[in-house]
Amino acid sequence: MLSAQPADGAVKVNVADGFDFPVGKPDAAGYYKARGLRLRSPRHFGEDWNGRGGGDSDLGDPVYSCADGVVSFAHDVRQGWGNVVLIRHAYRDPTSGQVKFIDSLYGHLDKMMVKTGQGVKRGQQVGTIGTNRGMYPAHLHFEMRHNITIGMARSGVPADLKNWADPTQFITKYRRLKREWRGVAVPTGTYNEYAGFKGL
Ligand SMILES: [Zn+2]
């Protein structure tokens, strides 16, 4: 499915045949959304998914890629984030017929199971639910971004629905897409430097 990722450029991925929830695959069975997207202050740029068992009962539970794509970032950025995986997806908007890109972000992971540049399939495990070194009760922080230049450099990016998607709305809308047999090139190396990021 994938060739090796150049430092900058493009990598071929499958066009997503749909999007699923990142926990309790494919429908988030056994989980609830403790916090949703909120683009006004106090801001929350994604969704927090918790196990119905409460507390840290979901610690170590699997986290899945919401669709086919390529890992665009997989590092421990510490601070409030801990282990973060970003995955870039291509999908065809059925309304416009255009191929679009979107990044999904999986934060506070206990373990990361993928590396930057690696191709992933819909429903493939990419990590486990964590606490960011005990900073939070175990949960998954999950974002989806239309703007594929954000990466970990969120400051200065307007908090609006041009840049971020409401994950549940997006997944519900694009649950089932037509399978396409030809891959498309997605851009890589689009992230700006991040002050707190000492990876790579
Ligand atoms: Zn969160």
Residue 94 lies in a domain: yes
What band does 197 get if pLDDT is binned at 50, 70 and 90? low
What's the gap in Å between 109 CA and the centre of ligand 1?
A: 12
Residue 132 lies in a domain: yes
On average, the pLDDT of the chain sits at: 92
Residue 25 lies in a domain: yes
Residue 3: its pLDDT value, please? 40
Residue 193 lies in a domain: no
Residue 196: its pLDDT value, please? 56
What's the gap in Å between 38 CA and the centre of ligand 1?
A: 10
Residue 160 lies in a domain: yes
This prediction's pTM: 0.93
What's the gap in Å between 184 CA and the centre of ligand 1?
A: 31
Task: Determine the structural domain holding residue 64 and report its residue range.
Answer: 9-188
CA distances from residue 192 to 34, 46, 73, 152, 162 in whole angstroms, order as listed: 30, 20, 12, 8, 18
Residue 10: its pLDDT value, please? 83
* Counted domains in the chain: 1
Give CA–CA dist 145/171, Å, rounded. 12
Phi, psi dihedral angles at 31 (to 5 degrees): -125, 160
What's the gap in Å between 170 CA and the centre of ligand 1?
A: 17
What's the gap in Å between 12 CA and the centre of ligand 1?
A: 30
What's the gap in Å between 142 CA and the centre of ligand 1?
A: 7
What's the gap in Å between 11 CA and the centre of ligand 1?
A: 29
What's the gap in Å between 69 CA and the centre of ligand 1?
A: 22
What is 139-166 written as a DSSP string? BEEEEEES-TT-TT--TTS--STTTEE-
Give CA–CA dist 87/92, Å, rounded. 17
Residue 4 lies in a domain: no
What's the gap in Å between 120 CA and the centre of ligand 1?
A: 23
Residue 46 lies in a domain: yes
Residue 190: its pLDDT value, please? 85
pLDDT in tens, 153-183: 888 899 999 999 999 999 999 999 999 999 9
What's the gap in Å between 95 CA and the centre of ligand 1?
A: 31
Residue 200 lies in a domain: no
pLDDT in tens, 31-40: 999 999 999 9
**In this structure, what token pair is assigned to residue 190?**
């689009």
For the domain that residue 28 is a member of, what is the CATH number?
Answer: 2.70.70.10
What band does 6 get if pLDDT is binned at 50, 70 and 90? very low
**In this structure, what token pair is assigned to residue 56?**
């840290």
User: For residue 164, how far is the Cα from the chain centroid?
Assistant: 11
pLDDT at residue 200 greater than cutoff 70:
no
What's the gap in Å between 141 CA and the centre of ligand 1?
A: 4
What's the gap in Å between 106 CA and the centre of ligand 1?
A: 10
